[in-house]
Structure 1
Amino acid sequence: MSAADSAGILTLPSGARLAVKRWGKGAPVLCLHAVGHGSGDFADLAGRLGGAFELIAIDWPGMGCSPSDGLPVRADRFGGLILEVVEALRLERPFMIGNSIGGAAAIIAAAAAPGRFAGLVLCNPGGLAPLDGPARFVIGRMAAFFRAGARGAAWFPTAFAAYYRFLVLSRGPARARRQRVVAAGRELAPMLADAWAGFSEPTGDLRPIAPKLTLPVWLAWTEGDHLVSWGRARATVAGMPLHRVTLFRGGHSAFLEDPEAFAASFRTFAADVQTGRFQ
């Protein structure tokens, strides 16, 4: 692995150190996870895609196996890290799959350097809905919820488990990943509070950027998501020059919750991009 040590840690020019996992051979696919998750989210997808693709999954700073750098959890910063990763690993026009903040970061990176990527897969990304009064209220309540967890509120583990079970990863195929996240709830609470606070900042609003995406974009949205809902993002998505939308079963991550259907649809998307049929 170029620029990586034997532990799979990639050191970037900015000083960030990111854990990297790679599976398979073929067209490169850079995989970007949600806050509090990790590169392991994409292990099942790698198995389903067989030998046609190489999946390269990174862990954001302080998540998975990546050491923390003490900096805020923000999509604009992660977007810059993506460009550094592509350069450091010498990836030739990879596809990107980004979930939640990973999707927001992918939008930022693709808008900054569209020629570096073959296509963009957005799984319930942040930043595409209006930052209006209702949105700011929900963001504020979610940040307060996680701040309470960080303070050690006795009720938090039970509430966090219910939140993940009913609002985030609601379907059976995602059970193992859900259990891993829930078990680390108290540890993740400060990071999640920080991330949610950032969603209301000006840099968290990606609506001005989205129409500038000139590469093929596939929105793979789980329709059970009540916090990052398709209905509130639809108007922004309509302004993207080259896009298609597929709605999947689940709460927040189509590739975890509806894995067979997602993998089949990804193969179609990639083939259409590679052959110039994407419209």
Structure 2
Amino acid sequence: MRMEVGATGGGVHVAGVDIAYDDAGPKSARTTLVCTHAIGHGARDFELLRDRLGGDHRVVAFDWPGQGGSGPDDAPPSSARYAEILAAFLAKLGIERPILVGNSIGGAAAFELVATRPEAARALVVANLGGLFQRNAMSRLVTRSFARFFEAGARGAWWYPRAFAAYYRMVLPQPPAHAQRARIVASAREIAPILAAAWRGFGDTTSDLRPLAPRVQVPVLVAWAMGDVFNPLWGSLDAIRSIPHARVVKLRAGHNPFLECADEAAAAVRDFEADLPS
């Protein structure tokens, strides 16, 4: 079922992984958007955004390893590993100076890549990215608790599919996301091991991106879904304020504004792009 959430276009082998991707819009467009999704999701998270921007933008979206139509990876999911895959994907497709658009761990991967390789992108648009939240006893408890929840799903706990569906009603509450939410929920057991591994990593010190924030020199649009009960904006504000060229727009969504309120997200991207240096 996991393939239904992801890309249906092409495929490339990068960084030791078979990556599925979609590539839409004019190849001659002035701006290419490269879109990276949340853990356990897929490239179809960006279908609605593509519908609104694809007329005059090239919009590329791909699936992380073991998700959507992409093959498995020997390495566990992390923003560092995903930044490596993102860099290899851009090089393979010959995409130069795109605007990287990322949600959750996808945003964290794009953020980490640009912090260490500023030439990799013209700008960033990130929504509810991980890695910038305050680290304390409560955040460690939350990440451990979610890791155990998904581990139970990987073991085949009888109650897990119903609990996972209830969880996703909070993650993606807005009606435009319901079709993709249903596809994600249908893959609950299949995707549980990757979710468990990711959440174990979210609590690790290596996932802390706050020291990198002052090093991100490209313009950054932080498009925050204000209904996010697991990663609220206030927990990341200090780190966001340390990004040299960042602006914040607050959007009505649970975790993914590109999927849940695509009209508003597309408008925010256009406004942001209009102010970018040529």
**Shared fold by TM > 0.5?**
yes
Q: Normalised by the size of structure 2, how large is the TM-score?
A: 0.94
Shift of 1:203: 1.4
2:253 maps to 1:250: yes
| Mapped partners of 2:9, 2:117: distance in 1 | 29
| Mapped partners of 2:132, 2:190: distance in 1 | 28
Within 5 Å, give how 1:1-279 maps onto structure 2. 8-12=10-14, 14-25=15-26, 26=29, 27-166=31-170, 168-275=171-278
The question of whether the paired residues in 1 share the 8 Å contact of 2:9 and 2:23 is answered with: no
Distance 1:7-1:117 versus aligned 2 partners, 3 A rule: closer
Q: Which amino acid aligns with 1:21?
A: D
Q: Which amino acid aligns with 1:251?
A: G
SS in 2 for 1:72: coil
For the aligned residues, what is the CA RMSD? 1.3
Shift of 1:7: 6.9
How many residue pairs get matched?
A: 268
| Mapped partners of 2:130, 2:13: distance in 1 | 27
| Mapped partners of 1:63, 1:155: distance in 2 | 23
Shift of 1:70: 3.2
Shift of 1:154: 1.2
Identity of counterpart residues, as a percentage? 43
SS in 2 for 1:51: coil
- Show CA shifts across 1:66-85 (max 9, x none): 11123211110000111111
Structure 1 segments of 4 or more deviating over 2 A?
none
Shift of 1:117: 0.8
Report the counterpart of residue 3 of structure 2 in structure 1.
none
Q: Which amino acid aligns with 2:196?
A: A
Shift of 1:143: 0.5
Q: Normalised by the size of structure 1, how large is the TM-score?
A: 0.93
| Mapped partners of 2:203, 2:125: distance in 1 | 23
SS in 1 for 2:221: strand
Structure 1 regions of 5+ residues with no counterpart?
Answer: 1-5
